[in-house]
Structure 1
Amino acid sequence: MTQSLRRSHAIPFLATVLAVLAVAVLTPLFIPTPLLAQQSLAIQGKVTDARTGEALPGANVYVSELTVGSATDRDGSYTFLIPASSVRGQQATLVVRFIGYKQKTEKIQLSPGIVTRDFALQEDVLGLEEVVVTGTIGGTFKEKLPFSVDRITSTDLQHVPANTPESAIRGKVAGVKIIQGSGQPGTAPAVQMRGATSVNTTGRSGGPLYIVDGVILGSSTVDLDALNIESIEVVKGAAASSIYGSRAAAGVVQITTNRGAHLPDGETRVTLRNEYGQNQLANKIPLTKAHHFKVNTARSDSPWVNYQSRTVARSARVSDTLWRIGPGGAVGSAFTSFKDKPYPGKTYDQIDEFFDPGFYYSNAITVTHKSRNTNFLLAFNNRRDAGVIEGNDGFKNQTMRLNVDHKFMDAVNISLSGSHSNSVRDDNNSGFFELTFMPPDVDLRTPNDDGQPYLIWPDPGQSLEANPLYSQHFREATTTRKRTLANLTTRFAPEKWFDLEAILSYDRLDDNYSNYYPKGYKTVNATTLNTGTLSKSNTGIEALNGSLTASLNYDFG
């Protein structure tokens, strides 16, 4: 009896075990996807200023071991998911970074569920915890660098907007001089990282090495819209040569553009920016309003007279001189004249005749987006700068940029950057020397005898200088510039202590210059320009750079 009872209980027990195994195997096939997602880990919280308690939008929060994270929204809140494949109950480090504040970390356990962590960040007055990338293999804390790196953030750039990256550095980096070569629109300023009294003249003879999103530029001109800059890092002196060699002897300016990585997951942001202004001559040159010629102010038809006080034409006027009397009453050859007589009749301000306040405008549209594994920036800018010279077309520029980052898996990240710019600059900027020799009683806008605008020789008999407005009207000199930049970066980090980075960059620059004098072009003295000339020159610069970097990081402490 006892034996039969044992057999009857064994059968239900075995059936129960088989049923449990069947449920364990078949359940994942029938459970809805949202229920499976519950095995992942959700990390959320808020980031604030420790002193004021205000929210910090745009702070980066991520798990360092997985490079998974997000940015805080306008309320300082953040939330992101750790996929179930990475949730194994292990310890990890949650990192919070924000420009101008000290980094903060906290250990968390990666287990299914929800983890809430709030952070209050302290201001970093000295900026020693900023991470820089210039002159180092990878991102390095500022306090650990053996040399000085100056970093300009997008916040600094927004306070004082600039048209060019070079101008954006002005007044923000100690020891760096930004020298505007000329007032011609479209001319980039020179960046001088060593002073005029430096013993080493390398920094004065050449500009720094420019790097834009990993692209080493083949020329010293940066064709980039300053509105798209995320940060600028400047390294002065020989320290810049630690990675880039002798070509960086005059320093390095590394520019990182916005990529949309600071946005919260799932957000798309469209930014429109329009600027309009007027250019004016900064320092007006004061020209004399008096003359040194002999005059007879009593005559209304022609006040000019010769040495016998007889009325003469303007072209025959003579200087009112004080002759030197030698021994015995002999008249010497040396004489002195003074410009102390006001010009009779109507006078003109030649500076106002030549220079004309021109308009300036810039239209820009930027689209940024971030999803869980992808972020991108698409930007377009249209700029026009007419300058301040009468009849000069100034500078026109259109720029387009695309930045894309994508994470294929936890260990592989690919970044793609590309930009193209097209600009046209009016290089007919001569005439300043002639302008300073024009007397105020000459009208530069007097037409020629054939009725065409601007008399070529407005002051015959007294000066050999041509009318600067004539050249501005008839001569055509333009520089057309096209620039293409591309960069592909692949980063493979299978372990926390090891990563492999491959960079391939391309830079193509085309400069086309055209100088045209039409047939019948007038000059003071006969030259070959009178029959008309056309000259063209083309310059092409192409640079291809590649690098492969392996980094090993291990903490023995």
Structure 2
Amino acid sequence: MFAKPLFHSARAVAGALVGIMVAASAARAQSQNAIITGKVVGDAGQPIEFANVFISELTLSVPTNAQGSYSISIPAARALGQAVNLRVRAVGYQPGMVAIKLTGGAQSHNFALKKDINRLSEIVVTGSIEGTERSKVPFAIGRVTAADLPVPALNPVTALQGKVAGMRIASTSGRPGSTPEILLRGPTSINASGRSTGPLLIVDGTILRNQSLNEIGGLDIESVEVVKGAAGAALYGSSAANGVIVIKTKRGALRDEVKFNFRSEYGISDLNSSQYGAPEFHPLQLDETGTRFCVAGAGNVAPCSRTFNWMEEILRINSVNADTIRTQQSAQFNSPGSGGELLNVFQANVWPGQRYNAFAQMSQQNPVTLNSLDASGRAGGVRYFVSGAFTSDRGAIRNLEGQQQRRARVNLDYDIRPNLTVSVSTLFDKSSTDSRGSFFGGLLRGAPPGTDYLVRDSLGRGIIKGGGTGFRPTGNGGGTFLYATENQTGRSSGTRYLASMTTTYTPSDWASFEALYSYDFRNSLSDNYVTKGYRTDGVSAATNNGNQSVGNSNRESMNAQISATFRKQITSDLNAKVNFRGLIDRDFSRSNSSAGQVYVVKNIYTLSNTTTNFSTGSSSALIKNMGGIAGANVDYKGKYILDGTYRYDGSSLFGEGNRWAPFGRLSAVWRVSEESFFSLPKVSDFRVRASRGSAGNTPNFSAQYETYNCSASGCSLGQAGNSQLKPETTTENEFGTDLTLFGRLGVEVTYAQSLTRNQILNVPTPSSLGFASKWQNAGTLQNKTWEVALNLPVITKKDFQWNTRATWDRNRAYITDLFMPEYFTGAGTGQGTGSLFLITARKDKVDGVPVNRFGNIWGRKFYKTCSDLPSSLQAQCGGGKAYQVNDQGWVVWAGEGNSYRDGITKNLWQTKLPAAQSPWNFPLQFGHPIVDRPLKGEKGEGVGINHIIGNTLPKFRFALNNTVTYKKLSLYALLDATIGHNIQNQGEGWGLLDLSSNYFDQGNASVETAKPLGYGWRVGGSEGAGSGGFYDLLGPNNYNTEDGSYAKFREVSLTYQIGKVAGMGDWTLSAIGRNMFTFTKYSGYDPEVGVSGGQAGSGLINQVDAFDFPTLRTYTISLSTRF
């Protein structure tokens, strides 16, 4: 009778026990930490290192290791069974996400990420009110990460060459330590005197007012973002019309561990070429043996009655125990006169004895060294990145020491609380640079091939004269680099300190606050001296007795800002955010210099040891800026994004009556491929964007003020002041699209058109004012730009990858308004380039080119085809006619019934067409090129007509880089090309004057094609001495202005991943070449040239080859490891 109740009782007890066990198990599970592990791989199955796996809801993130694995541990107290999104991001891949339930215990989630062809998922910060996916950024922005830099550059600017469409970078000087010049899209200032034409540079929040990135260090770069025009740069206001480059340096790791990276690179620096147009032949008269030079006749002494051996004469004049040299014997035909000598002497004699290449003798393969060590990790709440580096680049010039740098960086991020972070970035750099190297012009203009410039005289000294006067028409080529480098010293040293601190506070999801303070200090010292007893060609007390100049400069700048960002989800599909900022910055610079001549005591290099011509100078400048920003962003369904920014800037550089100026932007993005109706086959990630924005250029420091020129004798008026001077304001409309074709080819296309109004120009003033000029807002400059970027992963297999990226861009700039008389201006070099550019707003065409196109080169034109001749003379041009095209492609006068080939056989080189019989009322010499002039009776007859003979800005640019990886071996190459611009080859002009141009070598010419000296030496008649040749007193013409198109292999590397060695490290071995090969038809040393200064202010606009420091190439081996 009790069995049934007992059974029920037992079942109840058992059920209770099971319930207790389940509850206990659940409790144990609840008390366990949540462990999430997994692996992140690419679409080909390859592991992805440094991918960021994170849970936004918990503000947790970890990186993947070399195997692509990750592990996240979440305390039990935070793992409450809630639903969260586990996300992953990796550079170059589309982001991944999986929804998970966060419970105690272990769970695993793997990710296979697809390639992000156009990198639209990357987070960018430049130009936006806060970090934003590129797919939602409404303007073009270039982004380069450390992964895109397989060839680390000694200078971070150089590392960007060929990687961003619309960004032109060139090293117009090869001096170690020089900063390459940058031009984004096109010029925004007609007259940039005293101002930079480069973009605004920002490193870790610090504004670099001195425009130098040389000290930053390429190996410390994490990413570089480039905004190329005002449509994207409006957020940066009055300093950003030339674009903005924002550099972020590396930060600490997310895991509690320390990672070290060591890299050592060693190699050589070399000249790009040892050929620079030196002639193989000469026109000087030799004796009957062909081994000795004839001494020029004088008085009753007949030519060639005395002779000399070239090198014996060089040694004779140099080997004297004095501050000067002996008087040299002048060679016959060293300086041909007009008429007979010019028309009878040919540059066709072989140099007797050994020939030397002065450029090759000047060069020397010197070592390049780059050693770096860094450590990154996390200790508790502090993430850190610490690095140290030493670089030495001695260049490739004999006896010069180049530049050496020592650099240290400490970056810290302290997570005080999950919503409060303080970030600190610091850099210290100390450098020493050899500043010598002013002898290139004198050496390359006319160094005789028969001179051994490395020879020592009988007293063991380097020679001080190897050519020049007596051997050449001028003193060019007379100097020598060996003696100069051994007896002159020039060195500058500098220190640079950068520091910034950013505090970020996020009290809630809808609000965040940020404060930034940054500091930049740069000090430089220079010391240059010439030793007492320095030898010269002629007597020079200031040089023979030594001289010295010293200088120091300091530049100290700071910038600070506070910002607040508020976010609101208005509806489930509509999100908005607003941002407010206040900014200030201050820039103070000071410099001092002193100089003196004639040392009292030898080898004591202090100014107190000098006795004459003391001079001192000093300057200082203080610039203050401040501004306020309001910005808003609206995102509807992640498909329609509207963005607006307003900035109001005040600056002490503006005129007192216009201290403030507004700037702003309105822009939008439509992500078309997110639409339900979008169904274009083979097209994905399609979006269109449009932006209209404005940014500015400030006047130079003194432009608003009255200036006076003062000396011991009194003061004179300089420029008039202008209290109403405004900044230049660039307003840009930018339109673009991004898409992916066939799931493989990424395409980015951008068109931008800008107008920069209120051009700051130095306008002549009425003489009644007493001042010569006044800076005024007096013009408008327009730019039209196309940019294209293509990304193609050609092959993406696990063991074999091939990735290609190409960029293409073109720009046209025009002066559309000019509220002052048009005028000619130069490139800042003098020597014939004083009227290189015409500043005008005229829209008519000359030679088929709009006259108002910026960068047009103006000069005289020699006829090249029969159709170039005036229409009335074209019928007289051709074989057997009066005018003929010769073998070099120039129209020459030959006379009816003659041939231009008859000059020697028929003794016609002496023949001249008198001015009275010439259609131009100007005499013509047989076989000589003909300058375009007005015909007889026309206005201006007799004087050459100014033509547009080229343009210094390229027709287009392109770059192509390829990376091919097979297992552990990787090959990378970057080809960078600039096409369709012109260079005024000043060196060739000097070569014509000094009879040292190889273009006029006649030793290999036939009797029919040989040309006398006059064919290349000066224009004729009232415009100069000579018989009518190409030398135009160094002025630009269509002979010495050449096509400067070129393509360069900027970077080439071959890398092998060795892996562990003896169980330690992860070793990599690389062979690297920089600027290895140049493909060009330009006749000068290197087409990558230019002169800073002048009104244009940039060597990328002033395309004049004027004997600057020659560009270099390097070959190195690199060994690196991480552990």
Q: Is the 8 A contact 2:295 2:303 kept in 1?
A: no
Q: Is the 8 A contact 1:295 1:304 kept in 2?
A: no
Q: Is the 8 A contact 2:49 2:65 kept in 1?
A: yes
CA distance in 2, matches of 1:351, 1:76: 53
Of 267, 274, 283, the residue aligned with 2:264 is: 274
1:458 is the counterpart of 2:466: yes
Of 168, 175, 184, the residue aligned with 1:177 is: 168
Go from structure 1 to structure 2 and tell me whether the alpha carbon gap of 1:351 and 1:458 turns closer, same or farther (over 3 Å shift): same
- TM-score with structure 2 setting the length: 0.43
Which of 109-118 and 473-482 deviates more? 109-118
Find the counterpart in structure 2 of residue 310 from structure 1.
Answer: 305
CA distance in 2, matches of 1:185, 1:320: 37
Deviation at 1:68, TM superposition (A): 1.4
Of 280, 284, 309, the residue aligned with 1:293 is: 284
Find the counterpart in structure 1 of residue 37 from structure 2.
Answer: 44
Which of 440-449 and 240-249 deviates more? 440-449
Q: Is the 8 A contact 1:152 1:232 kept in 2?
A: yes
CA distance in 2, matches of 1:189, 1:322: 42
Go from structure 1 to structure 2 and tell me whether the alpha carbon gap of 1:493 and 1:84 turns closer, same or farther (over 3 Å shift): farther
Find the counterpart in structure 1 of residue 560 from structure 2.
Answer: 546
Counterparts of 1:461-476 in structure 2, within 5 Å, are 461-462=470-471, 464=475, 465-476=478-489
Counterparts of 1:313-462 in structure 2, within 5 Å, are 313=308, 315-319=329-333, 335-371=343-379, 373-436=381-444, 437-448=446-457, 451-459=459-467, 461-462=470-471
Go from structure 1 to structure 2 and tell me whether the alpha carbon gap of 1:309 and 1:413 turns closer, same or farther (over 3 Å shift): closer
Go from structure 1 to structure 2 and tell me whether the alpha carbon gap of 1:43 and 1:515 turns closer, same or farther (over 3 Å shift): same
CA distance in 2, matches of 1:321, 1:58: 70
Q: Structure 2: which amino acid aligns with 1:267? A: E
CA distance in 1, matches of 2:387, 2:87: 30
Q: How many residues align?
A: 511
Deviation at 1:373, TM superposition (A): 3.0
Of 240, 250, 268, the residue aligned with 2:242 is: 250
Find the counterpart in structure 1 of residue 997 from structure 2.
Answer: none
Deviation at 1:236, TM superposition (A): 0.7
Find the counterpart in structure 1 of residue 1110 from structure 2.
Answer: none
1:231 is the counterpart of 2:220: no
Structure 2 stretches of 5 or more lacking a match? 1-27, 314-328, 573-1123
Deviation at 1:312, TM superposition (A): 3.3
Instruction: Give 3-state SS (helix, strand or coil) of 2:371's partner.
Output: strand
Find the counterpart in structure 2 of residue 485 from structure 1.
Answer: 498
Q: Is the 8 A contact 1:202 1:250 kept in 2?
A: no
Which of 303-312 and 269-278 deviates more? 303-312
Find the counterpart in structure 1 of residue 48 from structure 2.
Answer: 56
Q: Structure 2: which amino acid aligns with 1:383? A: T
CA distance in 2, matches of 1:87, 1:242: 45
CA distance in 2, matches of 1:243, 1:188: 26
CA distance in 2, matches of 1:253, 1:324: 56
Deviation at 1:91, TM superposition (A): 3.8
CA distance in 1, matches of 2:117, 2:192: 33
Go from structure 1 to structure 2 and tell me whether the alpha carbon gap of 1:62 and 1:289 turns closer, same or farther (over 3 Å shift): same
1:533 is the counterpart of 2:569: no
Instruction: Give 3-state SS (helix, strand or coil) of 2:271's partner.
Output: coil
Q: Is the 8 A contact 2:294 2:331 kept in 1?
A: no
Deviation at 1:304, TM superposition (A): 5.4
CA distance in 2, matches of 1:433, 1:423: 27
Find the counterpart in structure 2 of residue 69 from structure 1.
Answer: 61
Deviation at 1:467, TM superposition (A): 1.9
Residue deviations 1:410-440 (CA, integer Å, cap 9, x gap) = 1111211111111111110111122121212
Q: Is the 8 A contact 1:240 1:248 kept in 2?
A: no
Instruction: Give 3-state SS (helix, strand or coil) of 2:364's partner.
Output: coil
Residue deviations 1:46-94 (CA, integer Å, cap 9, x gap) = 2222x32332221101111332110111222211233455445544332
Deviation at 1:114, TM superposition (A): 3.7
Go from structure 1 to structure 2 and tell me whether the alpha carbon gap of 1:525 and 1:124 turns closer, same or farther (over 3 Å shift): same
CA distance in 1, matches of 2:228, 2:133: 18
CA distance in 2, matches of 1:269, 1:514: 42
Q: Structure 1: which amino acid aligns with 2:37? A: Q
Q: Structure 2: which amino acid aligns with 1:544? A: M
Instruction: Give 3-state SS (helix, strand or coil) of 1:471's partner.
Output: helix
Q: Tell me which of the two structures has the higher relative contact order, counting C-alpha pairs closer than 8 angstroms and 6 or more residues apart.
A: 2
Q: Structure 2: which amino acid aligns with 1:70? A: V
Go from structure 1 to structure 2 and tell me whether the alpha carbon gap of 1:114 and 1:499 turns closer, same or farther (over 3 Å shift): farther
Residue deviations 1:358-391 (CA, integer Å, cap 9, x gap) = 2211111111223563321111111111111111
Q: Is the 8 A contact 1:202 1:249 kept in 2?
A: no
Structure 1 stretches of 5 or more lacking a match? 1-34, 326-331
Deviation at 1:448, TM superposition (A): 4.7
CA distance in 1, matches of 2:218, 2:405: 13
Find the counterpart in structure 1 of residue 89 from structure 2.
Answer: 97
Q: Structure 2: which amino acid aligns with 1:242? A: A
Instruction: Give 3-state SS (helix, strand or coil) of 2:568's partner.
Output: coil
Deviation at 1:201, TM superposition (A): 8.0
Q: Is the 8 A contact 2:448 2:466 kept in 1?
A: no
CA distance in 1, matches of 2:241, 2:228: 8
Deviation at 1:157, TM superposition (A): 0.8
Residue deviations 1:394-423 (CA, integer Å, cap 9, x gap) = 111111111111212211112111111111
Counterparts of 1:73-88 in structure 2, within 5 Å, are 73-84=65-76, 86-88=78-80
CA distance in 1, matches of 2:523, 2:336: 60
Q: Is the 8 A contact 1:240 1:249 kept in 2?
A: no
Counterparts of 1:183-202 in structure 2, within 5 Å, are 183-195=174-186
Of 129, 143, 146, the residue aligned with 2:135 is: 143
Go from structure 1 to structure 2 and tell me whether the alpha carbon gap of 1:323 and 1:499 turns closer, same or farther (over 3 Å shift): closer
Deviation at 1:173, TM superposition (A): 0.2
- Percentage of identical aligned residues: 32
Deviation at 1:273, TM superposition (A): 0.9
Q: Structure 1: which amino acid aligns with 2:41? A: T
Residue deviations 1:258-304 (CA, integer Å, cap 9, x gap) = 1133x6x2332211111112122113213112221222233877765
Instruction: Give 3-state SS (helix, strand or coil) of 1:280's partner.
Output: strand
Query: Which has a greater percent of strand?
Result: 2
Go from structure 1 to structure 2 and tell me whether the alpha carbon gap of 1:497 and 1:107 turns closer, same or farther (over 3 Å shift): farther
Q: Structure 1: which amino acid aligns with 2:390? A: N
Residue deviations 1:456-506 (CA, integer Å, cap 9, x gap) = 123363353322322121111111121111111111112122211111111
Deviation at 1:334, TM superposition (A): 6.1
CA distance in 2, matches of 1:334, 1:53: 75
Q: Pairwise CA RMSD of aligned residues?
A: 2.8
Of 141, 152, 159, the residue aligned with 1:168 is: 159
CA distance in 1, matches of 2:375, 2:334: 71
Deviation at 1:333, TM superposition (A): 8.1
Instruction: Give 3-state SS (helix, strand or coil) of 1:65's partner.
Output: helix
Instruction: Give 3-state SS (helix, strand or coil) of 2:219's partner.
Output: helix
Q: Is the 8 A contact 1:218 1:542 kept in 2?
A: no
Q: Is the 8 A contact 1:99 1:130 kept in 2?
A: yes
CA distance in 1, matches of 2:410, 2:40: 30
Residue deviations 1:288-338 (CA, integer Å, cap 9, x gap) = 12221222233877765754441234623212999998xxxxxx6864421
